[in-house]
Structure 1
Amino acid sequence: MSDTIVIAELSKGKISATTNELVTAANQLGSNCTLVVPCNDSAIANDASSISGVSKIIAAKSGIFSNYDAAAWAEALDSVSPSGIIVTSASTQSKDLAARLAARRSISVVQDVVEISNDGTVLTSPIYSGKAMQMVKLSSDAVVSIRANVFTPADNSGSGDVQVIDTSGNVTTALKEMVQRASERLDVSEANIIISGGRGMGNPGNFSHLEEIADKLGAAVGASRAAVDTWDEIPHSMQVGQTGKTVNPNLYIAVGISGAIQHLAGMRSSK
């Protein structure tokens, strides 16, 4: 079996719980799982030391990881990651990173995987906005992005040492300014509960009602494309749908949304 490399998913400067799911998927795809944590402070990687199923942890430390720049991240992570099957999250940023890593290594990329066969060679992922499923057979190393909230998370009963490697990507391509996160809330692509609003909310100020409910439920707040296109106050990062984010929560609540097929494509796999 091929060795596997998991690129840790980060959220608000910490290792996201999605990373545990990626480790589970990686161990289905191969063996000797190495977890690579992109960070500008190696202490961030200490949280990964307890994840079960990880044989080695690498803290890839560099100032470029303060903000996401596709070319710089891909170069830096490629330089510290051993050969094998690379596993990332299927978040918007990580899918971009997955494609770039695959291009740098001249290997295949399979995006948004929701199922892995028992022998770890056949991957299933949705196509045509979720109307069909494709099955891809792996015959060599590849980069695979995994949809969140699908695979059972690895537990935190393990123990491992963290190896710190100072790395530098192509700093000249790093962005000088980054747009501030529109919200400090949980990202919709990772949330187990999502409450989304559409143009039927009337005006962007009424999204405060959804935020109050989200606070009580521990949910993320999403939006339809119509709401994002109509009101500048609703950022694209909240958009759920074919041209936004694909989500897989346990509970999806839609308020003031017409139910256009493009929106359903982004949330039809909700439990």
Structure 2
Amino acid sequence: MDRRGVKVRKRFLRGALPLVRLLPLPTAARIVSGIGRLEHRMNRGLRLRFDEAVARGGRILGCDWDVPAVSNQLAGNHILWRSRDMLVDVASNARALAMFEVEGREHLDAAVAGGKGCIVLTSHFGAHMLPAHWLYRNDYPVKLYMEKPRSVSRYMASRFDHEGPLSQDKLFISRKGDASDAASSILRAARVLKSGMLLFLAGDVRWTGRLTAEGRFLDRRHHFSTTWIALGAMSQAPVVPVFCRVGEDARYHMEFRPSFVLPRDAQDDAKAGEHVQRFLDMLQEQVRRYPADSNEYLFWEDGVAA
């Protein structure tokens, strides 16, 4: 859901964040999210739209959420979500990494140790770009396979190399690309995995055309990209789901789930939908548990992409 003044807010954040980052980073996070919470309290129209979306989501999921409280917190987390990883755009690795509480790292490391590469399966839940930032900070050999993210930290942007056959620049995809562009990008992504690197991509991308399957999410059906399934089936690289949310301590709580390997026939039209739904079910459970980190999901029925 787009809000009025998003561009103005982004310019304000870019100007304010260098100063805010001088504070302890959890305090900085509370200040940034406070902008959204204040706007929610002051703007009745905005508050009603959030309240309605949260109430509808609670009914769909059978959850007895405190609608006003969740709605206000969600509005605050929207600002953090839109700021991507810019809050931790600091020189000190130790200072940035202190913002993370990580669970299940052993699942990631075991998958990487297998030597077949690794698909880190993310989503647009919570602080969705922060796992990539954490991977960079910990020197994992990771490439992003997605549309080129906007408004990311200078630290992350500096890792987007532009040279070589496996350069990050060649792995960014576009919705405007044709079938040949899509095929070429998938081949490049497969080479990344074959080289033993990590590939970071989302499993909740609504898409049209080839390599899609229908899935049910929050009581509505959408078509989702199955690129991650095609890559996993072709490469036999382990898939490690990751979820990252903003905790009550204003730090990033990140969880790596146990890895799985997709069967070679997973990309077949008759099979792909099962694997799409498996991930969507995991994602929906995160929304059920942490609705304030649901970002745009509760507004999807309005037909607006996250």
TM-score, length basis structure 2: 0.28
Q: Which has the larger strand fraction?
A: 1
Structure with more relative contact order (C-alpha pairs < 8 Å, separation 6 or more)? 2
More helix by share: 2
